[in-house]
Each structure stands twice: as structure tokens, then as C-alpha cells.
Amino acid sequence: MRNLTHESLSLSEEDFSRCMRKGLLLIRRPGEPLSENEKLLMDNGIRLADLEDSLNDLNTKLESAELDMKRFHEYFHHEIKQIRTNIPLNVRIDDLDSRHLENPHILLL
């Protein structure tokens, strides 16, 4: 075959480009139509290639999300540490007013 096109293989342009991109084997005699099994095999190969692309994209996004989550975790802990350093929280019992402890609205503060 000298002129390999989507028309010579009886494929859509999209399927042809996916087959060429993924290196799927397309062995046929010129002018011979695809059998049902060949069509199914080719369709499955194309779907598998698309699933591999989707899985690779998903893994890339997952790695990026994990890295973002790790950075946020480190940033958050750093900020909390800074707040604790700059604003010490010393609770002293004698500063509490017993009237506030009996007030149910204290929980809203």
C-alpha cells in the first residue's frame, strides 16, 4: 500500500488518526472490506488507547492534586505555628467568670 489514508482503510478520519497515533496495526489487503471481527478488534483497540490516555491524564491530575495538598498542609502548619508563636494562648482559671459558664450562649462565642 503506497497511499495510506482513512479512505483506503474504510475508517473515519478520527479513528484513522487514533490508530496512527497509537501505532495500532492495520494489516489488510487493498480493496478488502473489514470483517465484523476486525471492526470489533479495531474498535476495542481504539477504545483501549483512549482509556489509556484518560488514565494517564487522571494520574497526572492526581499527582498534581497530591502535591497541592502536601504544599497546603505544610503552609497550614507553618501558619498555625506562626499564630501560636505570635499570639500565645494562656488560659487562666481566675479570668473566667462563672456567670458565663452557666450561660448557654457562651457556646456561640
Residue pLDDT, tens place only, 1-17: 566 676 766 677 777 77
| SS3 assignment for the chain | CCCCCCCCCCCCHHHHHHHHHHCCCCCCCCCCCCCHHHHHHHHHHHHHHHHHHHHHHHHHHHHHHHHHHHHHHHHHHHHHHHHHHHCCCCCCHHHCCHHHHHCHHHHHC
Residue pLDDT, tens place only, 49-104: 889 999 999 999 999 999 999 999 999 999 999 998 898 777 665 565 666 566 65
Going from N- to C-terminal start, the domains of the chain cover 13-89
Helix axes 36-86, 13-22, angle to 10 degrees: 70
pTM: 0.50
